[in-house]
Amino acid sequence: MTRKQKRLSVIAGALAFLGAATGLTFYALGQKASFFYMPADLQAATLEPGQRIRLGGLVEKGTIVRGQGTEVAFSVTDMESSVPVTYVGILPDLFREEQGVITEGSFSPSGVFVADSVLAKHDETYMPKEVADSLKAKGVWQEN
């Protein structure tokens, strides 16, 4: 092998390694992506069993039911439809009825959304951007 051929083989090997690393990175990031849905959007969505999504909307009035320990059941609504949610864990301090919330998790076989994280607004004027935009488009929520 000449010196030029050795250099080209090292460069080709490095490019192949970088290509494989890039491909694996994009594959891993694609597996962790969770898409945002409002309750009304779920009717048209085709979700795979166990697919992680982010569900956002308002906590429906009168649906918060506390179970044993830290188990909580509630519904998320966009005023068109609602989705039942269960969550086991400590809820944010500002979690309450008719306030904006984003939950992350997946649907159980029974059709209940099982959340593993719940995000609530952090002050009186904040509404999560994705939730606010969707509710504004439907004419349900207006900024003060």
Contact assessment for residue 107 and residue 52, using Cβ atoms and an 8 Å cutoff: no
Supply angle C-alpha 82, 117, 120, rounded to 5: 70
- Alpha-carbon distances, residue 38 vs 15, 82, 83, 123 (angstroms): 43, 9, 9, 22
CA nearest 121: which of 61, 27, 56, 71?
56
125: left (phi over 0), alpha (psi -120 to 50) or beta: alpha
Q: Is 126 annotated as a binding residue?
A: yes
Burial of residue 84 (CB within 10 Å: 0-12, 13-18, 19+) is: middle
Q: Is 27 annotated as a binding residue?
A: no
| Residues flagged as binding site for heme | 122, 126
Residues annotated within the binding site are: 122, 126
